[in-house]
Structure 1
């Protein structure tokens, strides 16, 4: 079964309030087996355009990635992020090669 991924490019406008979102999303991410592969850090944009922050989160399955996003716990956390940041988020299925 292929893994699932959240791939986000975002911009944080209020770092203090964003920390509340981070604290709130920890439980639902853990519940669905999420693991951060990329969480900010150095990067070089070499093609196209993207917001200044990149995050990649791995889930045990594509369905787990979808279910986490739709879960009440994550939706409550997401409400804390709205208005203080902007993101483009794609949930995608991994490739097993």
Structure 2
């Protein structure tokens, strides 16, 4: 089964207040098996446009990624970041290579 991913590009305008969001999102991410693969760090934008921060979170499968986002706990966490950050988020299904490739 293919894994699920959250891929986000964001901007944080109030880092101290954003820490409350980070604390609140920890429980739903853990509950649905979310694991950070990219969480800020160095990057170089080589094509197109993107906000200054990139985050990639891996989930056991696509349904878990969607369920986490839609969960009441994560929706409550989102409220903590409204007005202090801006983000574009895509939830997508990973690719699994066919056998023999």
Give the TM-score normalised by structure 1: 0.99
Over the residues paired in the alignment, what is the CA RMSD in angstroms? 0.3
Instruction: Tell me which residue corresponds to 2:64.
Output: 64
Q: How far off its partner does 1:22 sit?
A: 0.1
Structure 1: 5+ residue stretches without partners: none
Verify: 1:32 aligned to 2:32, yes or no.
yes
Superposed CA deviations along residues 65-87 of structure 1, whole A, max 9, x for unmatched, are 00000000000000001110000
Larger of the two Rg values belongs to structure? 2
Deviations 1:2-56 (A, max 9, x none): 0000000000000000000000000000000000000000000000010000000
Aligned-partner Cα distance in 1 for 2:81–2:3: 26
Alpha-carbon distance in 2 for matches of 1:36, 1:91 = 14
Using the alignment, how far apart are the partners of 2:82 and 2:64 within structure 1? 23
Q: Distance in 2 between matches of 1:70 and 1:46?
A: 32
Q: How many residues align?
A: 97
